[in-house]
Amino acid sequence: MTSRRDKAAGDPVELRTTTPSSRPDGISEKMISGQRWHRHASPVSFGILALVLAAALSGLAGGQPSPPRSKDFEAARLEVKTPSVIRNGEFFETRIRIEAARDVSDAVLAVSSSLWTDMTINTMIPAAAEESFKDGSYRFSYGKLRAGETIVVKIDGQINPPLFAGTKGDIALFDGEQRLGSMPLQIKVLP
């Protein structure tokens, strides 16, 4: 050990001479020569990561394409493609296809209000000629459809934060005021 005088303070200052180390400051020799798994990630963490990835890829957490559901009525065929499992806060797309088997004087699409509770509907293309609310359903009138004609309605929406566990309701098809039929829908909402 050597000492020198600090001109400003007048106190002796000790100087240490050290040899360069192969390890960074704060890392002890004990930490370096410890157990084999100390230096590597635990195999348990890799197993947990693999399980999370497998669950995500299987569609358990949502995000997988849902197959279209369809129902034939005497006058028309209704096909709905919407997510069956979705996460809270996500945007979603619903496509509804109406194909007339015979002439329909006024194709009216009715969505029960319980299906859209705590959802924000951003767009609906094409826009309906008339919109109304009747008997607990939002109704959208698309006018006359001739036999063989098809109309495809694209609905974009978002799940609002208060919606938890899911929602259910039905989509019905009317010819004016005459009910042609309906299709029940259930959407599971994950946190």
pLDDT digits (tens, 9 = 90+) for 89-105: 888 899 999 999 999 99
User: DSSP H helical segments within 16-142, as ranges?
Assistant: 29-32, 43-58
Give me the percent of the chain exceeding a pLDDT of 70.
Answer: 77
**pLDDT of res. 8:** 55
Say which residue, 143 or 39, is predicted with more confidence. 143
How big is the chain by its Cα radius of gyration, in Å? 33
- Assign a CATH topology to domain 69-190: Immunoglobulin-like (2.60.40)
Residue 171 pLDDT exceeds 90: yes
**Where are the domains positioned within the chain?**
69-190
- Is 131 within 8 Å of 151 (Cβ atoms)? no
**pLDDT of res. 39:** 55
**pLDDT of res. 191:** 74
CB contact burial 57-75 (16+ within 10 A = b; e otherwise): eeeeebeeebeeeebebeb
Say which residue, 13 or 73, is predicted with more confidence. 73
Rounded-to-integer distance, Cα 30 and Cα 166, Å:
54
Rounded-to-integer distance, Cα 179 and Cα 184, Å:
14
Other beta carbons less than 10 A from residue 129's beta carbon: 12
